Amino acid sequence: MVVSRGQESHAETVLEYDRIKELKAFDETKAGVKGLTDNAVAKVPKIFVRPAEELAEELNCRWADIQVPVVEHGIPVGVLEEMIEGVRLFHEQDVEAKKEF
């Protein structure tokens, strides 16, 4: 581990962590976050945890990129509600059913 100025960087403190591998494994389960809650996971997986300073740095860099959603888009409210219901129904399916997608 390389230490500079007596402090360790975040990347250096996480020597054996392979984020890409963990993300792929999570994605391949097709269970999503709902699968974590269904299995009563007691600890938030590392792929969802980011240091506060990293988030603050990203917000400072991307603050100008934040966009306000457009509300007058011409899509009927009924269509939007059906889409939301379809997404909800999809996510409430068993993991095996979702694996088809």
Answer whether residue 2 is part of any domain: no
Residue 94, pLDDT score: 85
Domain that holds residue 90: 10-98
In this structure, the number of other CB atoms found within 10 A of the CB of residue 57 comes to: 11
Answer whether residue 3 is part of any domain: no
The dihedrals phi and psi of 4, each to the nearest 5 degrees, come to: -120, 135
Residue 3, pLDDT score: 38
Answer whether residue 4 is part of any domain: no
Residue 90 scores a pLDDT above 70: yes
Q: How long a stretch of residues is the chain? A: 101
Answer whether residue 26 is part of any domain: yes
**Under 8 Å between Cβ of 1 and 8:** yes
Answer whether residue 40 is part of any domain: yes
Answer whether residue 14 is part of any domain: yes
Answer whether residue 20 is part of any domain: yes
Could you read off the pLDDT of 5-36 as tens digits, one per residue?
444 445 544 456 788 898 898 888 888 888 88
Residue 85, pLDDT score: 92
Could you read off the pLDDT of 41-88 as tens digits, one per residue?
888 888 888 777 777 777 776 655 666 666 777 888 888 889 989 988
Answer whether residue 1 is part of any domain: no
Q: How many domains does the chain have?
A: 1
Residue 4, pLDDT score: 40
Q: What does pTM read for this prediction?
A: 0.42
Residue 48, pLDDT score: 84
**Under 8 Å between Cβ of 38 and 47:** no
